[in-house]
Chain A
Amino acid sequence: MLVVAFVSFSLFNFVGDPINNMVGEETSDEERAELRETLGLTDPIYIQFSRFIVNASKGEFGISYQLRRPVSELISERLPATIELVLVSALIALVFGTLLGVYTGINRKSFLSDAILAISLLGVSLPTFVIGILFIYLFAVILGILPSFGRGEVVNIGYWSTGFLTITGLKAIILPSVTLSLFQMTYIIRLVRAEMMEILQTDYIKFARARGISEKSIHYKHALKNGLIPVITIAGINIGTLIAFSIITETVFQWPGMGFLFIQAVQFVDIPIMSAYLVFIAFVFVMINFIVDILYYFIDPRIRVKAETVSG
């Protein structure tokens, strides 16, 4: 976390001259110096860094060069949109990915499995933005049944603005979330399938078969539970990746989230937004790792009872 904070800070400080990026060519030297003073850029590095950390922990990342508004304000405006999009996508990817993965892992030779696999391979080959464009063309331009951009109407609940409570909002989230989840879903299908296939080859499954345990129990009790252990890790990384890929989806669908903000920031070298985004991402990753570790503890007895002695 601190490493990321430092990197973001370095970004803030050393990459180019923020003043040059902020002001036009015609700005006089005095004006520049004045701006430098107000932004605190004349202080020694370590003071700047500690100020950066203090501010970051308060959620303040300075003022956007491009939009001339506080970054914290911009982020809190955009955050709900991204989180709703990512959560819906993660849900789609995990649920369908696991179900299809288990199906293809168990029924290895059925036609449907082959079809799912071929489609999933196509899914890995389809860049997210291409899927987005195809969806827009199909559902918005040709069929005209779903909106191609924006969030629809949103309802404000305190600081949070949600699109879940209006019909237009729900309609608007369908295309972006499906687009975003497809790539991850295909990935999870393949992972779960490989995992299931490997576990079904193990001795303990063979031994369970030899004891006459029903196929249903072998698949869903013995194999799936073991197979889910790596899926949890992947699901964690998956959410992180979804946040990153939301940059693309948000651009294609002009979804007013953080990714959209970030990509504009990259194009205009708007360092405060970039570093704030980085810190946000790092925070999310740390949280996810924490949650994954806790889940591991509950699902894998080998970690849970590590402390107890091996006897016999």
Chain B
Amino acid sequence: MIFASTLLPIDVTFGVIVYWLLLGLAGLLLQNTRAITQYIFPAGALGALILAAAALGSLGGAVNVAVLPLGLPDLPFHLRLDALSAFFLLLLGAASIGISLYSAGYFRDMPGNTLGLLCFEYHVFLASMALVLMADDAYMFMVAWETMALSSYFLVTTDHKVPEIRQAGFIYLLVAHVGAIAILMCFGVMQGGHGDYTFATMRSAHLTEFWSSVTFLLALFGFGAKAGILPLHIWLPEAHPAAPSPVSALMSGIMLKTAIYGILRVSLDLLDAHIWWWGVLALTLGLITALFGVIFAAVQTDMKRLLAYSSIENIGIILVGIGLALTFHAFEKDALAALALTATLYHALNHAFMKGLLFIGTGSVLHATGERNLGKLGGLIHHMPKLALLMLVGALAIAGLPPLNGFVSEWLLLQAFLLSPGLPHSYLNMLIPVAAAALVLASALSGYVMVKFYGVIFLGQPREKTLHEAHDIGIFERLGLTWLALGCILLGVFPVFVILLIDPVTQMLLGQTLGSTAAQTGWLLLTPIQPERASYSPLILFLIIVVGVIFTIFLVKKFYHGRLRRGPAWDCGFPEQTARMQDTAEGFGQPIRQIFEPFLGVTRIVPSPFDKKPHYHGESRDRLWNLLYLPIARVTEKISVMVGKLQHGRIHVYLLYSFVTLLALLAFIR
């Protein structure tokens, strides 16, 4: 008992990190597929459960601080577990339980040596993400951040024999490092010349308005590169499809959230100045990102790319929430800021579950059919009914439909928008309704995307013969998927409890909470302001629909004779239906492509009527690639050619360079 009373939550969470590292090492040493899938991954899931429980326990508790005797001399690692860290650790733990369980089933056919390496990288990845969330000095943070980037890079390039995957990995690594440099510079500015890189010092430092803004912009850029905010999103649709599905789930569901954590940590915790245009900038960027992501998601034909673009959209929505919270905070409307921040964190949690579920679900489809191309799937609901049901939950949730979880966070965010007028800035007051409209448009489009995603994969007739041999998911996969699907349902149906969980975070960052107002009429009814202004009860909504369905079925059963025949599909009397007459993913996305054609770089090869072997090819490319990245690449190349001229091969010229540098430095330091 003495032991239990001295065991702080931070000890438990750090213990889990060490435990994960040990598990990874064990996997690396064992190199045995059966042992790794049957024991190590489930054991990892157990660690995740403990982490989630410890984080849950410490939410609302006292702040834990620890100093590790590791690291460089006189530069120990500082760890800290406060409400913000605890919330994101909870997110990490809760979502990775499902993903690790799923991995236990998913990797069962992988050869032992590859799997041993993957198991190591996987657990290092998990541990480094947890460390990022717990770091309390810039040094620790950067070490963990880089470990996270590297381990995920190796995970992305698991199939390193495929050239596209190597290229995807390279782009990912490049963007990750450009971002990391910005983060490093951001910490450099924030320490304000004290030479002390602990977060505690940064909190107490007072920067001028200019330097605060510089810090914020650097943080937004650096973390934005990791989160996939426009225009730094390009690595996301490349890296996610390349990685094995559970890894995509970890990256999209959790790793992107560490970037969100970073933005929140810097802008609301470490910086003490708050300037209104930060929020507006984040809001605008978020809206553009959300709309961009969802439009591109609608025209994708690869199921994992589609989900990757959908992640970009969701990050955009989260950023909109952050922007709103920052704006309100800058104008000292902290109650509203708390509402917006709650919606943001809620959405982050939701997205971890929804996107985790969908990504590992695509893993099962890939495993069963060997296809990632939507145009070659179809009708899987007949062969994989369990997977189809669980994926339906994920698809409906991410489409933002009641009574599931995606809807609740969007509902809260919209409430924050509706309450916002009264800011002391006339243009801003008008920007906000327009922003609300854009947000609503993005979330309505995500419904389109999800109907396409789900309908093309699971419904209709199988588009290829081989699909008839698809097998349903095994027990571990089912456990993992069920855990995440249950999360989607419970987070959706019991919003008041979730908001009470988020309260300590908003209390810490803004000094305001939403929980007491939200629960003022009991846990059944969610009332963010006053009951007569807005209220929502997903549980009642859910029950009424269920009761309505049962009642209707009962009535029909009672009064109807119940005769039923099976026959061929009618289709307006057209007799020769084949699976190829269904819409493919391209066809389903065609209206969106037509409407938003100016924004998409569309290339199309249309066959003429006389082609013997007609071939259609359509591709929607990211215009930013040509407009932004290629010029940068060209300029970089030019500069490197110029720099290359410095290289003569004559040793005394090199010595001259060193000498000049030395002189310059001496002159500068003088």
Q: A and B bound? A: no
